[in-house]
């Protein structure tokens, strides 16, 4: 059962987010801008909004889950899977960053 204080802290998560220093001092978004808000959307159950905010969010979560599992359980294919997921994530991040400034 979700308590009122936990629900309130999830809903007011934006109050505790770190500012983007690139946006603050240079005036442009960095390649990581939106990841905190995207995680807040996921915690609220707004999965489509999370993807629109930061398209690489789900593949990043998958990458961290696989890397975390790899710490405790070693599988023969895990290192290759981590490499593939890293390449996919970097590709998605770069494409979405370029797309943000072209539109």
The sign one gets for the Cα dihedral 38, 29, 32, 20 is: negative
Neighbouring CB atoms inside 10 A of 96's CB total: 14
Residues 1-57 have pLDDT tens digits of: 556 555 555 556 667 777 777 777 887 778 888 888 899 899 889 999 999 999 999
Residues 19-32 have pLDDT tens digits of: 777 777 887 778 88
Residues 86-95 have pLDDT tens digits of: 999 999 999 9
Residue 95 is part of which domain span? 4-102
Total of domains in the chain: 1
């Amino acid at each position: 059962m979700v308590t009122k204080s936990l629900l309130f802290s999830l809903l007011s998560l934006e109050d505790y987010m770190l500012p983007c220093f690139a946006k603050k001092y240079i005036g442009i978004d960095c390649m990581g801008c939106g990841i905190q808000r995207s995680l807040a959307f996921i915690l609220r159950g707004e999965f489509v909004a999370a993807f629109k905010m930061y398209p690489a969010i789900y593949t990043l979560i998958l990458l961290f889950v696989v890397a975390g599992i790899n710490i405790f359980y070693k599988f023969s294919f895990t290192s290759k899977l981590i490499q593939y997921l890293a390449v996919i994530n970097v590709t998605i991040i770069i494409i979405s960053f370029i797309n943000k400034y072209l539109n």
